[in-house]
A and B are shown apart, each in its own frame.
Chain A
Amino acid sequence: DGGITQSPKYLFRKEGQNVTLSCEQNLNHDAMYWYRQDPGQGLRLIYYSQIVNDFQKGDIAEGYSVSREKKESFPLTVTSAQKNPTAFYLCATHRGTDEKLFFGSGTQLSVL
């Protein structure tokens, strides 16, 4: 099936630990995004990538890092510098900004 796969569905982080969230797509879309949702709030942009080997910071990039070595993959690392990582993380892709975003099913990250 074509689509976006996010894994894991649930993730727990210990203090001081880096964790990586996976996002894989087989839609052949150039652009990929990472958003964060906190309870009762909307989606905030962490990082986005319009093309392989290039990515840009969103509004809340501090404490996060990404890579875009392949078109299909856009992993997000939550580093120990992110002091409040508990949130729901969504990955999304699209062909162009005048076309709709497709979303993965999300990863819920919690701190132990």
Chain B
Amino acid sequence: ILNVEQSPQSLHVQEGDSTNFTCSFPSSNFYALHWYRWETAKSPEALFVMTLNGDEKKKGRISATLNTKEGYSYLYIKGSQPEDSATYLCAPSYSSASKIIFGSGTRLSIRP
């Protein structure tokens, strides 16, 4: 079983503060890394798919970085808003046709 770890498991942040969390994954034969946001009562929504070592991607106040050599990715949220409250999931893949396995997620709650 592929070991994908996300930390912290849950996080409470004051509105307006910035935050970040981590996804760790086996680096051998890495192909791509996915980040998703999953809000309650909705389907997971893709944030980023990253493939290159050192890659940085940004979508509004959310950005992500990728280190494929050491097997980790960081997700950053700048100036947290209540609508950022969700579970953030990461999932690596190891070939163009491999399965996609998710980490257990980081549950983010924003305090107004």
Residues in chain A within 8 A of chain B (CB atoms): 31, 33, 35, 41-45, 48, 50, 56, 58-59, 90, 94, 96-106
Contact = CB atoms under 8 A, between A and B. Distances in A.
Contact of A97 (B87, B89, B100, B102): B100
B98 to A, nearest CB: 6
Interface in B1-53: 1, 6, 31-32, 34, 36, 43-44, 46, 49, 51
Contacts of B87: 42
A98 B100 contact: no
A101 B51 contact: no
A112 B103 CA distance: 30
B32 A98 contact: yes
B28 to A, nearest CB: 16
Interface string B57-78: 0000000000000000000000
Contact of A33 (B36, B51, B100): B100
Nearest to A43: B102
Given A56-B99, A106-B43, 20 more contacts: A31-B97, A42-B87, A43-B89, A43-B102, A44-B102, A45-B100, A48-B99, A48-B100, A59-B101, A90-B43, A96-B96, A96-B97, A97-B31, A97-B32, A98-B31, A98-B49, A98-B96, A100-B34, A101-B36, A105-B43
